[in-house]
């Protein structure tokens, strides 16, 4: 089947406006239903709520003490204490109880002296009318509107409804959203066989899991339909079944792109009206929007891309706003903050872009480090702290220039993060896990830019610490010279984290019999390298130079990855025959490992942070026996000096 072409692409705003206009014409109105308070949490009120009774329904005491008529106490003073008789002109009362008739004030028990066994009380201060009294209707008055339509019922709203005597509020019926996963290559999570997934014969279908959570969080009901293969008639039948089954919105996942097996747009057009195919946003470009008809019902439909990040952008831009519109409520806006990108962020002109980033607050300034930007990198969703929107008329963002970012986490979480940049090591993830557990509120956010990149970020004040393993070729000592050359003016501590074994990672059984650096220069060996500035790249160059080998003789020398795990994955997948990395990465993916030596992997921490509570918590973690035992269990690590300050740099 031939490939498709996109309709004229529209901006997200243009696409949403057109789609909303057509969906409004359908006259979709959600029915109302009464629900008990016990089932009202997270439901959306469909009409204004009037109080059925005043709250409080009587004048009540706001403090423990005695109820009095304020005017009877006006003569009281320190010079002329006033004696009141219990049961006559003073009445003991507890907080919340109705005021006795003719009383309009409460004198706190702490301000009274009790005499003659409790028959009298003495006050030295006059009360004023309505002192410590909750007046009838002070909170709400019967018939007063207390909550507006479109309000999402939360814990506080539940309290207001209960106080007002509204025990069965009217709420909107939850919109029904049918989610149809499609693709001949995908299988349901509970049916996926590990051997098929590893061999690439099948892909696990999990977008519907994400979609369902987003839909339920938006106040709707999600119904996941069976997976549909790439077949026009079966896709059409699945959509028709969803519409006839009562769906208010259909989400067709995958098949909306322009490939030869992408049928969603054609099916939508054939079943009704295709309004939009192609949105000027990255990721999310292949989104399709339309109206389909089946069984006498017309229903809006979204065709989302198959890649998770693209699909979620489509959901955020179109599905969630439509559900909010039907429920007469606003879309929840993310908090916006000013951040400074640590590195340039290129972008394609003519397309809006949503870039996910990690954040760290360093000396009062919030810095952003980009995460992988592939449409299929689902971990960029779970690891992101914020999203930076880039306008369609920009070619990207400059490093060091403030921009706005939309927070995905709370400010408290961002401010509790230690931002580590530099060399990658698997122990950093372990530190983060233990830090969160032992010191709730703190975490370690790491960005992998190579050892040299980490030192330069420290010098610019863009992070709290950096991981480094830069070898001095002249004396074989790690990190000291690199710190002196790249961090002048920044006194720092060099803290040993681990000693780790570096080596050549190869497929199990070492099918190409790679045993040395010389073997990497063979014509039949494809290599995968680390990026420039990384300690592993420095080590490789050092070993090649020592042996008189030219980097140009290595096939794949310029093919780069940013982490040891990505190098290991490249070897496991067959993309490369060999890669240099740490033993723990090889062990994690079951690769064979040819050791080439042991190196230091250290943390570089500016001295100005040594008393920072987050750094102290970090030391507590890495110096613990639990951490050291966990590291040793990963394989290829030494922890004899873990947590020791092995050198202090004076900044000169």
Query: How does pLDDT run across 11-39, given as a tens digit for each residue?
Result: 999 999 999 999 999 998 999 999 999 99
Distance CA 517, CA 594 (A): 10
pLDDT of residue 3: 43
- At residue 50 the predicted structure's pLDDT band, cuts being 50, 70 and 90, is very high
pLDDT of residue 261: 52
Q: Is residue 192 part of a domain?
A: yes
User: Average pLDDT for residues 415-432, to the nearest whole number?
Assistant: 91
**Whether the predicted pLDDT of 244 surpasses 70:** yes
In a domain, 73, yes or no: yes
- How high is the pLDDT of residue 433? 94
Instruction: Name the residue with tokens 């070729």.
Output: 473
Within a domain: 317: yes
Helix (H/G/I), strand (E/B), else coil: 409: coil
Do 146 and 100 share a domain, yes or no?
no
Per DSSP, helices labelled H in 272-368 are 308-314, 320-326
Q: Among residues of the chain, what percentage have pLDDT more than 90?
A: 74
Co-location of 316 and 348 in the same domain: no
Average pLDDT, integer, range 113-119: 92
* In a domain? residue 290: yes
- The rounded distance, in Å, linking the Cα atoms of 263 and 3 is 10
38 and 21 housed in the same domain? no
Residues 255 and 389 grouped into a single domain: no
- Specify the pLDDT at position 2: 42
Contact 260, 1 (CB under 8 A): yes
**Which domain-ending residue is among 326, 350, 368?**
326
Q: For the ranges 158-162, 195-199, 220-224, which has the lowest average pLDDT?
A: 195-199
- C-beta pairs of 561-565 under 8 Å, 24+ apart in sequence: 561/528, 561/529, 561/530, 561/531, 562/424, 562/448, 562/449, 562/450, 562/530, 562/531, 562/534, 563/424, 563/448, 564/424, 564/425, 564/426, 564/536, 565/424, 565/426, 565/589
Instruction: For residue 136, give the nearest of 220, 195, 62 by alpha carbon.
Output: 62
The rounded mean pLDDT for the chain is: 91
Across 448-464, average pLDDT: 91
The answer to whether residue 151 sits within a structural domain is yes
Looking at residue 471, its pLDDT comes to 87
Token readout for 462 is: 């863009």
**Helix, strand, coil share of the chain (percent; to 5):** 30, 30, 40
**E strand or H helix at 367:** strand 365-370
Q: What is the CATH number of the domain that holds 309?
A: 3.40.980.10
Residue 519 lies in a domain: yes
pLDDT band per the 50, 70, 90 thresholds, residue 260: very low
Residue 215 falls inside a structural domain: yes
Residues 607, 521 share a domain: yes
Above 80 in pLDDT, residue 197?
no
Tell me whether residue 416 is in a domain: no
Which of 292, 326, 360 is the endpoint of a domain?
A: 326
CATH value at residue 104? 2.170.190.11
Query: The domain spanning residue 163 has which CATH number?
Result: 3.90.105.10
Residue 562 has pLDDT above 90, yes or no: no
Which of 378, 408, 438 terminates a domain? The answer is: 408
Q: What is the pLDDT of residue 447?
A: 81
Domain housing 229: 12-28+174-326
Domain match, 44 and 19 both:
no
Cα separation, 44 vs 327, in Å, equals: 7
Residues 163 and 230 in one domain: no
**Domain count of the fold of the chain:** 5
Question: Phi-psi category of 178—alpha, beta or left, where left has phi over 0 and alpha has psi -120 to 50?
Answer: beta
Give the single-character DSSP code of 69.
Answer: -
For residues 65 and 48, membership in a common domain is answered with no
Check whether residue 123 and residue 164 sit in a common domain: no
Q: Are residues 178 and 79 in the same domain?
A: no
Q: Do the bridges between strand 221-224 and strand 176-181 make them parallel or antiparallel, or are there none, so unpaired?
A: parallel
CATH code at position 528: 3.40.190.10
- Looking at residue 342, its pLDDT comes to 86
Question: Sorting pLDDT into bands at 50, 70 and 90, what band is 267?
Answer: very high
Determine the average pLDDT of the residues in 626-637: 93
The answer on 595 and 478 residing in a single domain is: yes
What tokens does 406 get? 């939309």
pTM: 0.80
Domain of 346: which CATH number?
Answer: 2.40.340.10
pLDDT above 70 for 90: yes
Mark whether 475 and 619 lie in a shared domain.
Answer: yes
pLDDT band at 245 (very low <50, low <70, confident <90, very high): very high
| pLDDT single digits (tens) 357-370 | 999 999 999 999 88
Handedness of CA 65, 66, 71, 77 (dihedral sign): negative
């Amino acid at each position: 089947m031939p490939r498709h072409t996109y309709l004229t692409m529209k901006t997200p705003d243009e696409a949403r406006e057109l789609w909303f206009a057509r969906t409004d014409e359908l006259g979709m109105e959600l029915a109302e239903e009464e629900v008990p308070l016990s089932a009202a949490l997270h439901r959306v009120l469909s009409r204004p709520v009037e109080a059925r009774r005043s709250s409080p329904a009587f004048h009540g005491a706001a403090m423990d003490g005695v109820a009095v008529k304020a005017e009877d106490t006006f003569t009281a003073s320190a010079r002329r204490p006033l004696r009141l008789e219990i049961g006559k002109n003073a009445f003991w009362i507890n907080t919340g109880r109705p005021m006795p008739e003719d009383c309009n004030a409460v004198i706190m028990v702490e301000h009274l002296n009790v005499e003659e066994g409790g028959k009298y009380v003495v006050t030295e201060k006059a009360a004023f009318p309505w002192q410590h009294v909750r007046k009838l209707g002070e909170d709400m008055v019967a018939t007063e509107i207390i909550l507006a339509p479109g309000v999402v019922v939360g814990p506080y709203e539940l309290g207001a409804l209960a106080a007002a005597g509204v025990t069965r509020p009217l709420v909107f019926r939850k919109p029904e959203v049918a989610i149809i996963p499609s693709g001949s290559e995908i299988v349901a999570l509970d049916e996926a066989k590990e051997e098929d997934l590893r061999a690439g014969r099948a892909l696990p279908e999990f977008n519907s899991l994400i979609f369902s959570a987003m839909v339920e969080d938006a106040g709707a009901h999600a119904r996941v339909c069976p997976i549909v293969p790439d077949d026009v008639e079966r896709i059409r039948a699945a959509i028709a079944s969803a519409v006839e089954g009562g769906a208010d919105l259909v989400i067709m996942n995958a098949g909306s792109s322009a490939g030869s097996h992408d049928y969603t747009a054609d099916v939508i057009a054939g079943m009704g009206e295709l309004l939009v195919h192609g949105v000027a946003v990255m990721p999310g470009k292949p989104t399709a929007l339309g109206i389909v008809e089946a069984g006498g019902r017309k229903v809006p439909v979204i065709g989302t891309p198959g890649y998770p990040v693209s699909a979620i952008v489509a959901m955020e831009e179109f599905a969630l706003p439509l559900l909010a519109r039907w429920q007469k409520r606003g879309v929840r806006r993310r908090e916006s903050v000013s951040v400074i990108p640590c590195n340039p962020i290129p972008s394609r002109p003519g397309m809006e872009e949503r870039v996910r980033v990690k954040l760290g607050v360093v000396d009062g300034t919030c810095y952003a480090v980009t995460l992988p930007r592939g449409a299929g990198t689902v971990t960029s969703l779970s690891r992101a702290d914020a999203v930076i929107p880039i306008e369609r008329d920009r070619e990207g963002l400059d490093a060091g220039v403030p921009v706005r970012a939309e927070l995905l986490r709370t400010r408290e979480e961002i401010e509790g993060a230690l931002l580590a940049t530099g060399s990658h090591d698997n122990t950093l993830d372990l530190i983060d896990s233990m830090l969160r557990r032992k010191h709730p509120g703190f975490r370690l956010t790491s960005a992998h830019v190579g050892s040299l990149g980490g030192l330069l970020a420290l010098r610019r004040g863009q992070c709290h610490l950096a991981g480094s393993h830069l070898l001095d070729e002249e004396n074989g000592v790690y990190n000291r010279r690199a710190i002196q050359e790249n961090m002048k003016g920044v006194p720092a501590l060099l803290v040993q984290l681990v000693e780790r074994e570096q080596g050549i990672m190869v497929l199990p059984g070492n099918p190409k019999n790679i045993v040395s650096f010389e073997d990497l220069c063979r014509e039949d060996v494809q290599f995968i390298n680390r990026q420039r500035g990384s300690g592993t790249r420095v080590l490789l160059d050092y070993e090649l130079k020592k042996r008189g080998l030219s980097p140009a003789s290595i096939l794949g020398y310029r093919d780069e990855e940013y982490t040891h795990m990505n190098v290991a994955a490249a070897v496991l997948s067959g993309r490369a025959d060999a890669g240099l990395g740490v033993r723990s990465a090889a062990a994690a993916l079951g690769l064979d490992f040819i050791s080439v030596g042991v190196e230091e992997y250290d943390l570089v921490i500016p001295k100005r942070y040594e008393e920072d509570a987050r750094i102290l918590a970090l030391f507590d973690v890495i110096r613990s026996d639990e951490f050291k035992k966990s590291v040793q269990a990963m394989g290829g690590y030494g922890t004899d000096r873990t947590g020791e300050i092995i050198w202090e740099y004076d900044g000169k």
